[in-house]
Structure 1
Amino acid sequence: MSKTPEIRIDESFRKIGGFVTYSSAKGIRNSKGSLDVNLELKGISGDPDSLKENPVVRCYRDFYWKIGIDPTKTRPSGEALRRRVLRGLPFPRINDLVDVGNVVSARTLIPIGIYDMRFIEFPLALTTSKGDVFFGIGKGEEEGKPLPDGTPVMKDFTGKVVHIFPHRDSRVTSVRDDTSEALIVGAGVKGVPPQEVKNAVDEVTSYIEKFLFGKRAMDTVVLQ
């Protein structure tokens, strides 16, 4: 095991049409209020009811159907965040590092995961679940829930599930207020250009450097 950021992909995951781009940042000073979320979201416009026709949104919706999730009930994260902006609803605020990921996801429609590297043993693996337990961030998920076999996941070297691809992160590796070193992952699916997913990750690292005093720690990797 290692602390050097590395993600690997196995055939069971590759077959479902998922991929990731990833980078990392260090020296982050996470806080609350350093990022003017409303200013950064300014310029996003459009009709929320026609958002489902966006080509990127359609790719994620198609992927959701493929893995057994109804996207009309559980929307892809980028779509859900963009929809909140277009409807004038309050944007979720957690802390500046999490907010950066959500802002970029709303702007690009690409799902972004940010993880505290203190709690990850590399390499990570993109694979499908088999007898795994997931500890979600939501209320009532502290005890963990068994995952159906075949669920697309990202696991660390010790076997803990870091992420259910491409829509849910684990509390075990989630960003804390004192997170200073983070892994940034963009989740891509069939039909979404890898360059767009890479650009989203690069945008997150740029925000971290601009607002959170952090520094990019590695070039962004595209893993297909």
Structure 2
Amino acid sequence: MPTPEEITRHEDDVPTGAPSAWVGDARPETGVEVVEPDPAWPAAYAEVAALVRDALGDRVLVLQHVGSTAVPGLVAKPVLDVDLVVGDVDDEAAWLPPLEAAGFVLRVREPWWQGHRGLRLTSPVVSNLHVFGPGAAEPVRHRIFRDWLTEHPEDRERYAEAKRVAARQTEAAGEHVMDYNARKQAVVREIYDRAFVALGLLPGPGTAPTTPLRE
């Protein structure tokens, strides 16, 4: 289980000399579409979750719907984000082949960032599957962010507006999804820190880290 310090730390550093995180021909996608909330997203997640559980069985330690499509009433890119925790993320032979057989494609490998692997599913539901090990803080952070936005409509609307603005600017500049994420990171950090303070993970305003955050 990650510590409070690990949970509240905003990470965005790639070690010097690290290889590209992209696997094969995968690259950041250009074009960012933010759509109104779709009431079908929870059912779509259930469909993806069933695929993962059928593929991995008891190797699934945690499986959760995260990101904007997991927050009722929030605008989002029409792509589900799903966090998966397995016993040993570095032992790809234990979990990757069954997921590939189910239609997932490995696109990102970042062993320096909490062991993260990123997979994409395009059918039946376009989804990003984020795979971590048991000690990773990011799945905990994602759950906190999702639940905070669900329970706090003012921050939900503030984040929604940041997403709309970031999408318009990214589209106008012909940039990709990583640029979109960077444009809204300041708002993401502020909301995270507010949630951390409320949960007692940070002592109070003005004391949170200020390094960039990966959503």
TM more than 0.5: no
Give me the TM-score of the superposition, normalised by structure 2: 0.35
Structure number having the greater helix percentage: 2
Of structures 1 and 2, the one scoring higher in RCO (CA 8 A, sep 6+) is 1
Give me the TM-score of the superposition, normalised by structure 1: 0.34
Structure number having the greater strand percentage: 1
